[in-house]
């Protein structure tokens, strides 16, 4: 698997895990606490930033012809 292919898979899986973390923290957590709320915000942040990173990486690797 090439570097580009690995990154596409890695960013996709990481984004899905961040979405699951946010859903667990805000919807499925047995008891809301400060830790679960903090993890929820980390999940939301990751779910927003990972695709942005993926697009930037894809553009850069496409320009470099790797």
Give pLDDT, residue 2.
86
Domain span at residue 26? 3-64
- Collect all residues with Cβ–Cβ distance below 8 Å to 62 and sequence separation of at least 6: none
Number of folded domains in the chain?
1
Ordered alpha helix ranges (H), the chain: 3-23, 34-64
What is the per-residue pLDDT across 24-57, written as a single tens digit (0 to 9) for each? 999 998 888 999 999 999 999 999 999 999 999 9
Give pLDDT, residue 64.
87
Give pLDDT, residue 30.
87
What is the per-residue pLDDT across 6-23, written as a single tens digit (0 to 9) for each? 999 999 999 999 999 999
**pTM above the 0.75 mark?**
yes
């Amino acid at each position: 698997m090439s570097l580009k292919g690995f990154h596409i898979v890695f960013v996709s899986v990481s984004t899905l895990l961040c979405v699951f973390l946010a859903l667990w923290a805000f919807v499925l957590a047995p008891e809301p606490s400060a830790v679960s709320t903090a993890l929820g915000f980390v999940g939301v942040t990751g779910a927003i930033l990972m695709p942005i990173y993926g697009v930037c990486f894809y553009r850069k690797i496409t320009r470099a012809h790797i």
